[in-house]
Amino acid sequence: MIELRTPTQIEQMKPAGRFVADVLTALKDKADVGVNLLELDELAHQMIKDRGAESCYIDYHPSFGAMPFGKVLCTSVNDAVLHGLPFDYRLQDGDLLSVDFAASVDGWVSDSALSVVVGTPRQEDLDLIETTTRALEAGIGAAQAGNRIGDISAAIAAVAHGKGLTVNTQFGGHGVGRTMHGDPHVPNDGRAGRGFKLQPGLVIAIEPWFLHTTDEIYTDADGWTLRSADGSRGAHMEHTIAITAGGPLVLTARD
C-alpha cells in the first residue's frame, strides 16, 4: 500500500534522515586501507546505541535473505554491489567500497548509501561512482509532484545508458516510512510517463546501482551479498526523499 505523509510527519522524519547522513559521513571518514569491515559495522552500531535509534537491518529477513541479516550495515566491496554482509576483511589499497545504512529514529526510517574508493583509485571506478551519482541526481530531479515513477526510472537509466552501462531492475528504490521497504517500487530503468503519479507526501528512497560490464548478479555463499556475474566492480548511491509541492526534499543530504 502506498502511503502519503503529512507535512508534519515529513518534519518528524527529518531527524532520521540527519542521523543516517551523519553515520554515513562518519563511515566514509573511517574507511581506509587496513580498516576491517567489522570495525565499520561496530562504529555504526555504537552510533545507533548513542542516538537511541534502531537498526533496520539486524533482524531483517526478507525472502531473498538466507537468514536474519545480523549486522547494522551493508558493506559491499569491489564485485559486490548490494546487501554486502560485513565479515572479517581488511580494506585494501584500491578497493571500491559501497556502504548502505538505514535506521529508525522516533519510529521513522531513512535509508541512504554511498560508494568510495579506499586508497589509490582506479579511474574507471571514479568514473562509475560519478555516473551513479549523476544518475541519483537525475532521479531526484525527476521526482516532482505530477510526474510519475517512470519519469524517475527513465532519468536514472538515461544517465547509465549514456555511459554504455546496462541496468538491472531486480533491486531498486522503494517507499520509506515506518518501515524500511514499502510501496512503490522505484526501478532504475523504465518508461517516462508510466507508473504511480507522484504526489506531495510520498517518501521514497531512490537508489541507482551499476556494474562496469554487466547487469547480472548472483548471491554469495553468505546468503546475502550480491555480486556481479562477471567479477566487474559496482557502485551504489541512495537518498531518501520526500515529494513536496516545492520540489523533492532530500532527507538524507550529507553536509
- Contact criterion met (CB below 8 Å) for 232 and 211: yes
Residue 255 has pLDDT above 90, yes or no: no
Tell me the per-residue pLDDT of 133-176, one tens digit each, with 9 for 90 and over.
999 999 999 999 999 999 999 999 999 999 999 999 999 999 99
Confidence of residue 102 (pLDDT cuts 50, 70, 90): very high
- Contact criterion met (CB below 8 Å) for 248 and 231: no
Decide: helix, strand or coil at residue 17.
helix
Let me know if domain 7-250 sits in CATH 3.40.50.1820: no
Q: Which three cell numbers, joined as nine digits, stand for 11?
A: 518534519
Q: What is the mean pLDDT of residues 35-58?
A: 98
pLDDT value of residue 30: 98
pLDDT value of residue 202: 98
Residue 117 has pLDDT above 90, yes or no: yes
Based on C-alpha coordinates, what's the Rg of the chain?
17
CA of 16: how far to CAs of 19, 24, 153, 248, in Å?
5, 12, 25, 17
Tell me the per-residue pLDDT of 199-248, one tens digit each, with 9 for 90 and over.
999 999 999 999 999 999 999 999 999 999 999 999 999 999 999 999 99
Residue 107 has pLDDT above 90, yes or no: yes
Based on DSSP, count helices (H) and strands (E) in the chain, helices before strands.
4, 14
Residue 64 has pLDDT above 90, yes or no: no
Order of strands, sheet of 217-219, starting from the edge strand that comes earlier in the sequence: 80-82, 226-228, 217-219
Q: Grid cell 531526484 — which residue?
A: 140
Q: Where exactly are the structural domains of the chain?
A: 7-250
pLDDT value of residue 17: 98
Do strands 226-228 and 217-219 pair parallel, antiparallel, or not at all (unpaired)? antiparallel
Confidence of residue 78 (pLDDT cuts 50, 70, 90): very high
Confidence of residue 191 (pLDDT cuts 50, 70, 90): very high
pLDDT value of residue 97: 98
